[in-house]
Amino acid sequence: MIRHKSDIPHAKRLVVKVGSSSITGDQADQLDGLVTALAAAKAQGQEIVLVSSGAIATGMPQLELGDRPLDLATQQAAAAVGQNLLMRRYQDIFDRFGVTSGQVLLTVGDVENEPHRSNARRTIERMLGLGVIPIVNENDTVATQEIRFGDNDRLAAQVAELVGADALVLLSDVEAIYTAPPSQPGAQPVELIQPDDDLSWLVLESSVVNTVGTGGAVTKVSAARLATASGIPTLVTGTWLVAGALAGQGPGTWFVASVN
């Protein structure tokens, strides 16, 4: 059982989630480090499921869209173009390590309702059995409410529960959950959060939304709570720190799992 951050290298199955702002635009170079770390973990015998945002943000430059589109149809078109490019970029790097990745597109409903839930679990289990790293993303081209209000942090927590992950790692553009927005004087990183800790003040103070994706501290806290309620401990840390995180080292906020 994974009880502490230092136990992550001993997890048999990990779900890792990365957001749009961490692997697109000015941060696109972080994709190489992320894939390298995931391939290294796989080489050590761990089963890895990656939940990756970034389809819309990746498709925007290809369609010459300067800002994230507001209308649903354009978001879906950008996602359709961007998902193809994003998967190609992932596989190009995985090829260096002899690793095969595979695309799994889900809506929130797919992981909440049978028989889609059973089909998704069976597919991911078979991919892992074949040595493939599943790359899961929300199916933005058909999503309606989720594409506007959903987030892949929550999807990652649901996927972690779906596949019985030993731990969930939520990668961010900051290295931890803070007591206030990190840019504010006096903001401090939170190292450990217990299941019964009152975080209402933290959630109110730490919301972040950027121009290429949705999410931030609020969604990560909510997703971590969802995962830990299912007995899955969760780490929130910076994308550039992923290699250390998978080795059980470095900064981050560790959410202790509930005992069911």
CA distance 74 to 82: 12
Q: Contact, 180 vs 206, CB < 8 A?
A: yes
260 located within any domain: no
Strand pairing partners for 13? 47
| Mean pLDDT computed over every residue of the chain | 88
25 located within any domain: yes
Q: Is 22 annotated as a binding residue?
A: no
Please spell the DSSP secondary structure of 13-35, one letter per residue. Answer: EEEEEE-HHHHSGGGTTHHHHHH
CATH number of domain containing 117: 3.40.1160.10
Which pair of tokens denotes residue 50?
Answer: 């990656």
Q: Contact, 156 vs 220, CB < 8 A?
A: no
Q: How many domains does the chain have?
A: 1
Q: Is 152 annotated as a binding residue?
A: yes
Q: Which of 17-21, 178-182, 250-254 is modeled with the greatest confidence?
A: 250-254
Q: Is 21 annotated as a binding residue?
A: no
pLDDT tens-digit readout, 100-135: 999 999 987 788 788 889 999 999 999 999 999 999
Q: What is the mean pLDDT of residues 7-13?
A: 97
Q: Residue 115: give the domain boundaries.
A: 5-255
The CA distances from residue 216 to 17, 63, 98, 142, in Å, are 13, 26, 33, 24
Q: What is the mean pLDDT of residues 61-65?
A: 90
Note the pLDDT of residue 22: 85
Q: Could you tell me the pLDDT band of residue 260, with boundaries at 50, 70 and 90? A: low
pTM over 0.85: yes
Sequence-ordered strand ranges (E) for 37-193:
47-52, 101-106, 133-138, 167-172, 192-193
Q: Is 172 annotated as a binding residue?
A: yes
Establish how many alpha carbons lie within 13 A of residue 199's alpha carbon, considering only the half-sphere containing its beta carbon. 22
pLDDT tens-digit readout, 121-171: 999 999 999 999 999 998 877 766 544 435 789 999 999 999 999 999 999
Q: Is 17 annotated as a binding residue?
A: yes
Q: Is 254 helix (H, G, I), strand (E, B) or coil?
A: strand
122 located within any domain: yes
138 located within any domain: yes
Cα 142–chain centre separation = 20
More confident: 222 or 234: 234
186 located within any domain: yes
57 located within any domain: yes
Residue 119's contacts (CB-CB under 8 Å, 6 or more residues apart) are: none
